């Protein structure tokens, strides 16, 4: 398999280096158009904040490129394309060939190569970036089949393992915890104290889960107004947040303050006013914003960063325990892909074609043998064998003489022959 992968990711380079090779959609289009033809017959590039990877199928039938293209040259081309020579060096990039490159792509798609294990957002990015290459006509039957298998790996990982389950970010874990207390978030309201990044992300996730109402309180009122404009909801005065406690079910606090923004007495008063309906509070401020003693009040659930970290650690551990199962899926799909690829080689196809014809011949001879006298039976066998040989002579020669054709053409031809005669259906690509 003439496949090469060259790339950079979070394991080989820090963010400030990898970001230098990050490509926009337009840059990806330009780069694949540039690489198509020389040295690749098919190629595509995936670029995210954590990785930029080039996958290319080189053409062994084109003159001096019998040998694979020079890997260092490819690395240099990528670096030069982004004019990143001052900060990115060859050593930051890795390369893989043949089935190793495929295995790597499958691992990326399954989320076990992600910075956060099980994050398979990458799958849709692979698809989007592949489409860019397709639109530039840089992809062909091999890469299309490879993408199909890659997608299959991602899908199987999601359905057959639990590697994508359980929150692994502070904001998701907070929402997950809220869902363990309340059954229907659309009937609940939340108060966001502080307009910081984590608080905002949490509010976004709560919105995603259909929270019934959102209030934002911030010392700088304009910031609260901005956030409300972006996320919906209502901005409230920072001084009024103690009164708000009686009317909301979820509180997310992330302000910088040297004293408690919410005291135990505030919560006690609020609980009385709200007839002791459960109140869930997440304190992600450092130092803490809410008096930890408030957790002792009945029906109050107060969690700080330590509690949230415990959830995240537990979930990450569970995800890690799924890696062996994901590796099995990767291996199964790799074997299937390799089988498909091998089935497109000339000799196995000729062998399968001949076996198929011989089978038909034998069946017909056996069916009709009793119509012939004993002395003619040997002749029948001989004549039918000759007919089959003659019929297969030209197709066999044509298949064998396809050396000057490109890999792409050869694969297409073999694919047609195989589907036309229904050869080894189990090895044919899935639709």
Partner 1 sequence: MKTLIDVFTVALPLLYFSTVWAYAKAFFKDSAAAKRTKTPLLLATLAVHLSYLLLRSAFFNHPPITTIFEIMSIIAFSIGAAYAVIEFQTKVKNTGYFILILAFIFQTISSFFIENLSEVKPVLRSSLLGIHVSSALLGYAAIAISAVYGFLYLMLYHHIKSSRFGVIYTKLPNLETLEKMSILSIIFGFSFLTVAIAVGLIWLPRAFDHFSYFDPKLIGTVFIWAMYGAGLGAKKTIGWQGRKIMILSIIAFAVSFFSLTIINVYFSAFHKFY
**275 counts as binding partner 1 under rule CB under 8 A:** yes
In this chain, which stretch among 44-52, 221-229, 302-310, 388-396 interacts with partner 1, using CB under 8 A?
Answer: 302-310
Contact predicate 234/215, CB 8 Å: yes
In this chain, which stretch among 82-90, 206-214, 306-314, 321-329 interacts with partner 1, using CB under 8 A?
Answer: 306-314
**184 counts as binding partner 1 under rule CB under 8 A:** yes
Q: What is the nearest approach in angstroms of partner 1 to the Cβ of residue 331?
A: 21
- Interface residue with partner 1 among 79, 153, 311, 344 (CB under 8 A) is 311
**298 counts as binding partner 1 under rule CB under 8 A:** yes
**183 counts as binding partner 1 under rule CB under 8 A:** yes
**268 counts as binding partner 1 under rule CB under 8 A:** no
**403 counts as binding partner 1 under rule CB under 8 A:** no
**193 counts as binding partner 1 under rule CB under 8 A:** no
**197 counts as binding partner 1 under rule CB under 8 A:** no
Three-state SS annotation for the chain: CCEEEEEEECCCCCHHHHHHHCCCHHHHHHHHHHHECCCEEEEEEEECCCEEEEEEEECCCCHHHHCCCCHHHHHHHHHHHCCCCCCCCHHHCEEEEHHHHHHHHHHHHHCCCCCCCCCCCHHHHHHHHHHHHHHCCCCCHHHHHHHHHHHHHHHHHHHHCCCCCCCCCHHHHHHHHHHHHCCCHHHCEEEEECCCHHHHHHHHHHHHCCCCEEEEECCCHHHHHHHHHHHCCEEECHHHHHHHCCCCCEEEECCCCCCCCECHHHHHHHHHHCCCCCEEEEECCCCCCECHHHHHCCCEEEEEHHHHHHHHHHHHHHHHCCHHHHHHHHHHHHHHHHHHHHHCCHHHHHHHHHHHHHHHHHHHHHHHHHHCCHHHHHHHHHHHHHHHHHHHHHHHHHHHCHHHCCHHHHHHHHHHHHHHHCCCHHHCCCC
Question: What separation, in Å, do the N-terminal and C-terminal C-alpha atoms of the chain show?
Answer: 22
- Interface residue with partner 1 among 38, 204, 234, 277 (CB under 8 A) is 277
Of the candidates 11, 15, 49, 197, the residue annotated as catalytic is 49
In this chain, which stretch among 118-126, 300-308, 324-332, 377-385 interacts with partner 1, using CB under 8 A?
Answer: 300-308
Contact predicate 204/339, CB 8 Å: no
**250 counts as binding partner 1 under rule CB under 8 A:** no
Q: Which is nearer to partner 1, 184 or 364 (CB)?
A: 184
**191 counts as binding partner 1 under rule CB under 8 A:** no
Q: What is the nearest approach in angstroms of partner 1 to the Cβ of residue 32?
A: 41
**310 counts as binding partner 1 under rule CB under 8 A:** yes
The structure tokens 């190629």 sit at 43
Q: What is the nearest approach in angstroms of partner 1 to the Cβ of residue 204?
A: 21
Residues in binding contact with partner 1, number by CB under 8 A: 22
In this chain, which stretch among 77-85, 96-104, 175-183, 418-426 interacts with partner 1, using CB under 8 A?
Answer: 175-183
Which residues, other chains included, contact 123 with Cβ-Cβ below 8 Å and sequence gap of 6+?
109, 150, 151, 154
Q: What is the nearest approach in angstroms of partner 1 to the Cβ of residue 327?
A: 20
Residue 43 annotated in active site = no
Task: Please report, as residue ranges, which positions from 199 to 228 form the binding site for partner 1 (by CB under 8 A).
Answer: none
**301 counts as binding partner 1 under rule CB under 8 A:** yes
In this chain, which stretch among 10-18, 54-62, 255-263, 298-306 interacts with partner 1, using CB under 8 A?
Answer: 298-306
**172 counts as binding partner 1 under rule CB under 8 A:** no
Q: Which is nearer to partner 1, 176 or 333 (CB)?
A: 176
- Interface residue with partner 1 among 60, 299, 345, 347 (CB under 8 A) is 299
Backbone angles phi, psi at 235, to 5 degrees: -85, 135
Q: What is the nearest approach in angstroms of partner 1 to the Cβ of residue 183?
A: 4
Catalytic residues: 49
Q: Which residues of this protein are in contact with partner 1, per CB under 8 A?
A: 162, 177, 179-184, 275-278, 295, 298-299, 301, 303, 306-307, 310-311, 314
């Amino acid at each position: 398999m003439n496949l090469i992968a060259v790339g950079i990711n979070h394991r080989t380079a820090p963010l400030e280096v990898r970001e230098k090779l990050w490509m926009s959609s337009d840059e990806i289009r330009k780069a694949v158009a540039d690489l198509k033809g020389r040295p690749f017959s098919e190629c595509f590039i995936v670029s995210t904040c954590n990785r930029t990877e080039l996958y290319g199928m080189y053409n062994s039938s084109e003159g001096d490129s019998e040998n694979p293209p020079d890997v260092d040259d490819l690395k240099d081309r990528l670096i030069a394309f982004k004019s990143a020579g001052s900060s990115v060096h060859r050593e930051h990039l890795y390369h893989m060939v043949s089935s190793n490159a495929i295995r790597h792509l499958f691992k990326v798609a399954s989320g076990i190569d992600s910075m956060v294990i099980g994050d398979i957002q990458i799958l849709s990015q692979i698809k989007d970036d592949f489409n860019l290459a397709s639109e530039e006509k840089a992809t062909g039957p091999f890469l299309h089949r490879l993408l199909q298998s890659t997608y299959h790996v991602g899908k199987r990982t999601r359905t057959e393992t639990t590697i994508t389950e359980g929150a692994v970010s502070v904001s998701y874990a907070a929402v997950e915890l809220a869902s363990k207390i309340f059954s229907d978030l659309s009937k609940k309201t939340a108060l966001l104290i502080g307009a910081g990044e984590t608080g905002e992300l949490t509010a976004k996730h709560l919105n995603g889960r259909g929270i019934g109402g959102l209030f934002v309180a911030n010392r700088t009122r304009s910031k609260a107004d901005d956030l409300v404009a972006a996320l919906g909801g209502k901005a409230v005065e920072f001084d009024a947040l103690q009164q708000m406690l009686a009317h909301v079910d979820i509180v997310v606090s992330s302000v910088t303050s040297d004293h408690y923004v919410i005291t135990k007495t505030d919560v006690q008063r609020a609980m009385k006013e709200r007839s002791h309906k459960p109140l869930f509070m997440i304190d992600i401020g450092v130092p803490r914003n809410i008096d930890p003693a408030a957790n002792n009040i009945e029906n109050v659930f107060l969690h700080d960063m330590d509690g949230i970290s415990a959830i995240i650690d537990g979930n990450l551990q569970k995800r890690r325990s799924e890696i062996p199962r994901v590796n099995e899926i990767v291996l199964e799909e790799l074997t299937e892909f390799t089988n498909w690829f091998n089935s497109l080689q000339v000799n196995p196809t000729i062998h399968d074609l001949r076996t198929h014809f011989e089978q038909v011949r034998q069946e017909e001879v056996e069916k009709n043998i009793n119509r012939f006298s004993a002395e003619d039976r040997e002749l029948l066998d001989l004549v039918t064998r000759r007919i089959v040989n003659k019929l297969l002579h030209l197709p066999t020669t044509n298949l064998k003489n396809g050396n000057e054709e490109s890999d792409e053409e050869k694969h297409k031809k073999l694919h047609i022959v195989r589907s036309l005669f229904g050869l080894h259906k189990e090895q044919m690509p899935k639709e």
